[in-house]
Amino acid sequence: MIKVISWSIGIILSVPILYLVLLYGASELGGEVVILDRPDVSGEESQVRIWIVDQGGTSWIEHGDTESFYLAALTESPRVVLRRNGETASYVGKPDHDAHDLYHKLRREKYRWADQLIALLTGGNTACDGVPVRLQLER
């Protein structure tokens, strides 16, 4: 009986850890990761590692839903700073609700297996409430 309880507890504790390891591994090993400098509620800058997609001269990231502080802050200050391939660049960022399907299509093409795994673990694109941010290089 004790053995069954021990195994049950071990499995219950292992599943969330395995989930996090798979999610983190896919996001970090699945392809290009850029570093986004973003302000938080307290005004401090933090760095977030995210995926980026491109089409033509436009790039998109997805970081937050319609309720996120970051996306609300973009309306006041649309400057977005990213480190990509070892270089820092400034962009003008704008939430682009209409690009949701395009963003996921481009992401699937670029990140392939990692995007598929993350979609499987998180409920897929239909469950995604993220808002893509359209980036234009600041001139």
Mean pLDDT of 109-136: 90
* Helices 2-29 and 100-122: angle between axes, nearest 10 degrees: 160
- Kindly give, in sequence order, each residue whose CB lies less than 8 Å from that of residue 74, ignoring residues fewer than 6 positions away: 80, 93, 94, 95, 133
> Domain tally for the chain?
1
Q: Which amino acid is at 138?
A: E
Whether 103 and 131 have beta carbons less than 8 Å apart is answered as no
Give the pLDDT confidence score for residue 90 in this predicted structure: 94
pLDDT in tens, 31-67: 999 999 988 788 788 999 999 999 998 999 998 888 9
Whether 126 shows a pLDDT value over 80: the answer reads no
**CATH number assigned to the domain comprising residue 113:** 2.30.110.10
Distance from the first to the final alpha carbon of the chain = 69
pLDDT in tens, 85-121: 999 999 999 999 999 999 999 999 999 999 999 998 8
Give the pLDDT confidence score for residue 24 in this predicted structure: 86
Domain that holds residue 22: 2-137
**Tokens 């090993």 -> residue:** 29
**Tokens 């590692």 -> residue:** 49
Mean pLDDT of 125-138: 88
Secondary structure (DSSP) of 21-45 = HHHHHHHHHSS--EEEEEE-TTS-E
Rg (CA), the chain: 18
